[in-house]
Structure 1
């Protein structure tokens, strides 16, 4: 069943589009990675799904309804980012009590165990927490709420590496026990890859790719060898990324749809073929140019 449906979605701020003709369908009970560069439109999309932003054009449905100002959505969705605000009068333990009253699926035992494990002081005020500890507490709220739609927008800001790894493992373990739709946004895929079932790539406000993580890992192939040999066989239109290794040697990543004839020809002429790491592929696909930073220096 589709939890999220966006059709030709636009969001414009003055003359700048944050989202442009974005169409996507997200099914229930998946962990989905929303990956894109800073400024790609990830936060705008997620806040639109959470009912915090009204789109300029197009249509968005969450649980089959318009999410803006929707009480049903509010009770079944939690949006977690590093800007969450709470009453300055409430201590951590009081925020937990309020969350339990609001979220139907709230699990007090999970919240208490995570608070203890991560060392969050229950008697602190939220605004007194360090950046990393505040992000950790916010993530705990997201996990313990067990909302049917749980949105984590760059949730690990300020967290140490070990805390980030613990958070992702906790997310996966609780999801396996209590499936729901979880969207995690990031500009980095390498730490998320092992927990994701689907990946959505967003660039300049548009969804440029939506694949299962398994298909995404097979999406491209890397070729290393003589530049002239590769260029004589590989169609320029299928090149995703290219990097000069020397005057005559080149590395390119291409759409993994080469014919058997082309593969045989490349191998016979000494071209090496390798898989493309998912994190690298996401970077290549969201680059504005095929050469990435190397293109800056080509005219020098």
Structure 2
């Protein structure tokens, strides 16, 4: 269990996290999503013990992660900025990992490297951006840590290897369940993997729901502008767009009462809204999106 209570982190007076409170269950794949600068990377670094919170508390199985060797040997953070000694090739890096991670899977790492076409004789710093991301992810999976934190793990990978690595994450999780938190700007890419979503906006928790609930969170109404006006006062509108003669509204489902006969009479379409779009609308600065700028 990961428990965050009023978790705050400030850099030079600016808050990256502003009172995050949440509880994340064990043995789940969780999507940590949000816009650029929302605080996702900061939160992962605190969970990994790389940063100390400015205020509040975080516990992983009742242990605070900062400066905690027990947590460190069972937690791994994979991020683009991670580095390894310049004088060590890939083979030596993998060999060294055996000494630190108690569940290290050297054979798995070698098989995945071979599949990805990465030579064990390569030096980490000489790898291309996509190759480094591939190696880093393989390193994270092979560690088989109880808490595996992946910060934008697919950056730089081509489409083919991205698909393969997502499948590798899923197969590893099914064979050896653990807590995997994947931070991403692209929820659609990881939707087939995750069980729940933690949406961060401006350093705070905007939503924390199961994927199933997020997929039912909102509906899209499309019809004549006058026909949609009746829903303006009764529903929580997340997004709206008008392109005469039609209008579109995305509304929170639980705030809306729909009568099928009335919808047919008014010629209003009701369409589902993806979890990815829900996250986009909930964290938007305006209900009209980019169109508001040009108006």
TM over 0.5: yes
Deviation at 1:228, TM superposition (A): 2.2
- List runs of 5+ in structure 1 lacking aligned partners: none
Provide the residue aligned with 1:121 in structure 2.
119
Deviation at 1:101, TM superposition (A): 1.6
Asked whether the 8 Å contact 2:113–2:138 carries over to 1, the reply is: yes
Provide the residue aligned with 2:94 in structure 1.
96
Provide the residue aligned with 1:159 in structure 2.
157
**Equivalent residue for 1:29, pick from 27, 30, 35:** 27
Number of residue pairs aligned between Structure 1 and Structure 2? 295
Report the aligned-residue RMSD: 1.4
Provide the residue aligned with 2:248 in structure 1.
251
Question: What TM-score results when the alignment is normalised by the length of structure 2?
Answer: 0.96
Asked whether the 8 Å contact 1:111–1:140 carries over to 2, the reply is: yes
- List runs of 5+ in structure 2 lacking aligned partners: none
Matched, 1:274 2:271: yes
For residues 19-51 of structure 1, the C-alpha deviation after alignment (integer angstroms, 9 at most, x for no partner) is 011111000000000011110000000001011
Runs of 4+ aligned residues of structure 1 deviating over 6 Å after TM superposition are: none
Provide the residue aligned with 1:20 in structure 2.
18
Asked whether the 8 Å contact 2:33–2:183 carries over to 1, the reply is: yes
Asked whether the 8 Å contact 1:233–1:262 carries over to 2, the reply is: no
**Equivalent residue for 1:72, pick from 46, 70, 73:** 70
Deviation at 1:55, TM superposition (A): 1.1
CA pair 164-256 structure 1, distance change in 2 beyond 3 A = same
For residues 209-264 of structure 1, the C-alpha deviation after alignment (integer angstroms, 9 at most, x for no partner) is 111111111111110011222122343761111122x2332111111125545554
Counterpart-to-counterpart distance in 2, 1:294 and 1:56: 38
Counterpart-to-counterpart distance in 2, 1:43 and 1:260: 39
Asked whether the 8 Å contact 2:235–2:255 carries over to 1, the reply is: no
Asked whether the 8 Å contact 2:28–2:180 carries over to 1, the reply is: yes
Counterpart-to-counterpart distance in 2, 1:94 and 1:261: 62
